[in-house]
Structure 1
Amino acid sequence: MNKRRVGLGYTALGDALIMLGLRYDREEGREVASKISRVLRDSAYWASVEIAEEKGSFPLFDAEKYLDSGFAKRLPEDLREAIKIHGIRNSHLISIAPTGTISLAFADNGSNGLEPAFSWYYNRVKRMADGENLVYRVEDHAFREYRKSLGIAEDDDKAVEELVKNLPSAFVSALEISAQDHVRMMAAIQPYVDSALSKTVNVPADYAFADFKNLYLQAWEAGLKGLATYRPNMVTGSVLSTVESQSQDLDMTDPDRRIRLDKTPEPALASLRWPSRPETPAGNPAITYTVNHPTNPFAVFVGHLENGSKQPFEVWCNGAEAPRGIGALAKTLSTDMRSFDRKWLEMKLEALSRTSGDGFSMAFPPEGVATSVPSSTAALAKLLQYRCNQLGAFDDIEQAQSPMVDALFSLKEPKSGTDGTMSWTVDVKNPATGDDFVLFMKELAMPDGRNRPYSVWIAGKYPEAFDGLCKSISIDMRIVDPAWVAKKLRSLAKFKEAQEDFLAREPGSEKQQNQPSTIAYVAKLIIHRYNQLGILDENGYPSEDMGLMNAEAPTGAATAGGVRVMPGKECPECKNHTYIRKDGCDFCTSCGHVGSCG
């Protein structure tokens, strides 16, 4: 009673943001959450001052000491003056509680406290008096109201599943939000809460220790009072579990089993683009950032075009001690930037910003605030995110079309069960650099019966930035048209780094050949595997044209029969890789040669 602490708070913040059309994991959502928390704080503190004026302050109140505290210093000046004159009834007033039972029992299962919804409908486990577990289905309040507004019945499972697949973008659940964005929301609210926040940061079962370490460091740097992470495991399971749809399966009768996809997306023809680097004879603006990595500092250059609006179109890294592999990653990201698909770029950068490694602290723009990043890859991604936001590239992104994302045959990497799935592995050793690792590619079975790589990883001795490059290429692999990843691989197969060249067997041959770098050799090996599967030819061009990629012809490039130059197989006449299938015939878009028909 000497302090008269109370804990006012709120619940259903996540659902409130959904109903306002705001995403929980975006800055706009955090701004509204911050405003709500500020209004709660100010209202509660003014009420406590009014009660103190009538009944007196809490017994231990000392105006000078109280107003000199860190939290009180952030109060509005008129409120501080009122406390100085009248005192305050309660030492602490705000605490955002879990409200799990309250929300379930009295708020129509609105999202708990400041949490986003766990899932739109899920199984909840209740332990009964006899020790048995009762499992029952629960729907989120915002989802239920939206479903009812569309006239969809709760027991219409097919319609409900289809609805979940096509929800407005504001419907983002706890399991879809990155751990970093969970922490960012806490950081937006904590300045207005004098006690603590109850918040669970959901992380996947395979969350790496380095990521855990960096997450807690990020929370400490943000001034949070505490952080609770939750990672499910096979031993204890989880209190809540989503109702999963079986979109992929394993053929358990086949010892050489692979994950099998039942269907793939069907994007519009010529919907994907990869413009070549534009000619800029007068130059183009670019901005430079310095990454003060403790052992491998480097500079990041982000260039943009000014065509009515500022469009970031390339990034590159430089520095005598720059991490090996970071330049190759920047090269592939430049291709992503020139797709001019903003959602695709945002998704790619968000994934890379979570790449773990040897974390460090860097001065982040614009104020140079010390910020913890989990790796050099993450530093590059975060700087590129910052610059793209600064240029307005991600403004109104929720309404933007995304042919690239629509062309992914799997938004997230498909996961196998405990019986595993097949992969292709090869040893890589570069005596010039000391690289010595195993490259492996996981494969799945497509609906047409073909096997298709969908993920590439390495294990052994290699530079940290290679992890970021593998993650980026893995996402590219899941574009349904292999022409996209093929373009990236052909570019990387020529990638040179100083004093990295070495002799190695040319993939698919006994011939020894000088390889320009470890990365170039890895790219050749991946192309070779695609060639073995009949997806790419030996030069890294698609064996069949799907008609999705709309490659911009180089300036002054010849056209044949009014058809723009398009990538394809090697033409037997002109030897250009522009031989496609057109109107039932083999046709070269460079020279116009017509081959077999039918």
Structure 2
Amino acid sequence: MENLKTYKFDEAFEASLDYFGGDELAARVWVNKYAMKDGLGNIYEKSPVDMHWRIANEIARIEKKYKNPLSAQDVFDLLDHFRYIVPAGSPMTGIGNNHQVASLSNCFVIGLDGDADSYGAILRIDEEQVQLMKRRGGVGHDLSHIRPKGSPVNNSALTSTGLVPFMERYSNSTREVAQDGRRGALMLSVSIKHPDSEAFIDAKMTEGKVTGANVSVKLDDEFMRDAVEDKPYIQQFPTNGKNPLIKKSISAKTLWQKIVHNAWKSAEPGVLFWDTIIRESLPDCYADLGFRTVSTNPCGEIPLCPYDSCRLLSINLYSYVVNPFTKDAYFDYELFKKHVALAQRMMDDIVDLELEKIEQIKNKIKHDPQSEEVKGTEYHLWEKIYNKSGMGRRTGVGITAEGDMIAAMGLCYGTDKATDFSVNVHKTLALSAYGSSVQMAKERGAFEIYDAKREENNPFVKRIKEADPKLYEDMTKYGRRNIACLTIAPTGTTSLMTQTTSGIEPVFMPVYKRRRKVNPNDTDVHVDFIDEVGDSYEEYIVYHRKFLTWMTINGYDTNKKYTQEEIDDLVAKSPYFKATANDVDWLMKVRMQGAIQKWVDHSISVTINLPNNVDEALVNRLYVEAWKSGCKGCTVYRDGSRSGVMVSVDKKKEEKKAVTINPDSMPCKPPQVTEVRPQELDCDVVRFQNNKEKWVAFVGLLNGYPYEIFTGLQDDDEGIVLPKTTTKGRIIKRTNEDGSHRYDFQFENKRGYKTTVEGLSEKFNPEYWNYAKLISGVLRYRMPIDHVIKLVGSLQLASESINTWKNGVERALKKYVIDGTEAEGQKCPVCGHESLVYQEGCLICKNCGASRCG
């Protein structure tokens, strides 16, 4: 690198704070996630200005290879202050960054050709998934090729275990990669035609299972018709075979009701309307040449063929509203069309940059010290991705700030008028992007397998032909530079830097403080974390720049402290009124998504956020309407349906730091103090490592609340030997003949037979036993779990072995902390703020979004 100057965190933070006009959250997000760093954490950029020049210079370097090149200044002006064009996280982090060897692609799909139903194929996919995730890629793959449970196999098992164990394998691999700041994100899909699809749909309903993956089921039109009309539906394996080995008739309505129920209860599975995806897909016009779509990326907005990938970029729609929030507001279509064409051009340049990155990755693998046998899979994987990326030159131009754009135009989100306006914007975007791709084909050459004849009956191409006959004529003459161009993806933390919402979600009202992604593994479709506001408007105006703009334009004093009544009056007058997640007509939102989908060649990632009190019938109507409206997929989230996804709070908070929790929503209810231990207690089994030794913790539960804890060695002559699948059981207190007591652990195996491990206490080192008794004592007397964890963490123990054991005990207890509990006295190791809360056993920073698990 030419510029080897490094900056301290505080230097970069202060410069970025000035860049973002005093917005601490945006400044910290940029420094933590997007400033150029090396593997040691050294920071090489002082503010987003440096980052945008880095990107602009690299794109300008590629532009010089082609006719009529853009200058670095041209590109910088589009990127500056995230005003017009916003690259997604992987391009923003990786372009021009030679300190780290990583891909620029956000999304990958993998899958093997031919018969992939073998342990060799399953393990190959597992390794490829991990190799991509370690390079910052989200991965999707389909499981429809795995034979159903009970099928004969040619090995010692005799019959197949079916899909679910492999879902857990792939999920665990994702969680393994997503440690210590690395990223892992996974989408698993299966055809509804597969005989194991019901087990797939149910897999995540068991607490703690498949926690490292999003799951979506691929629904064909026949199944949807049969479900709506209550007709039988035929499942088979292979799912697309003419002479299936297995065939069975099921009630489509019954299975559909299960999908709806599970989505209502746990926000999964998502649904992919597969016939719509394939019917509309331009790449599938080249299915026989390797572009057959098999699954989607983790957020669902990019249906992909195996070993293709996509880079993402968003256009900030709000910036094209002139005179926002006034009666004279209008959308600058001419500037928008110009910038869309340039965005498509920049995306094509980023394909070239990605091909360079893949060459760097391949070169690194070549020079790694491991043997060819060890590194061969990884090298061959990147060869396949390189070939597919260069062959199709797929891009992902999308949008952000749709909700802000609609509000700034004085329209109400979810109305017919707003939908019609939005559809016109997306139609303009599609025609401009495709016009740019055709122009690049004329100047740079079409993607190598372009064939107008193959595409002539594609519905998306027919819409282009009808809307712009000249564009269609030029496309058939010169071809197109990119096999597909458009998507609408969740913008995640980049939306915090543009001060907008993501995708086509409406803006949240200023009765909420901030909206951002908090899932520790970054795997879920864009979700919300909601803080309660303080007493003054000043406290949260920075999180709603667009609302502040509306106030300023309309003559309101933004420095005044407003009462809650005054805030409510302001809200009612604003263009955001009745545009919150709970106010929007959800059916209208689905119809809006379907209408916009007609002008998006890939797909749209959007979650329909619903209040807690909606019934399953509404989820059913939304899913059916999504199918009928032409959506390619749909996901719903009902408030409180998934622990740790969306945390709502009581608006009537009396103390600033108090957390109001509905006892009915607690994962475990604190019991009254029970002096006399019941003879039997339910028990959770938690495994951990202590000095590279495998240990197990038995957490006795009284009414779901931890009452006692035992720990011991696994797999030792004198230790505790348990099947790996054992996660629950009972601890039974026994009285020996001499009047002494012992504790036994009892569990049931898969066949329902009970096994008892006698004398847990005898399997402990006495020192560990005494510390466990201390911890069990404070649990028994109902000390809050977070305080127990703090107490355990503060113990000053004699040996290093006991200290690592202590850390394992902490991990075992964290899963019982109520989500949203503040970790008092603990500071975030990234931003230094005392703003940590527990979420699903992990500590999440409310200030900067950093997470720490384990």
State the TM bucket, normalised to the shorter chain.
0.3 to 0.5
Q: Relative to total residues, which structure has the larger strand share, 1 or 2?
A: 1
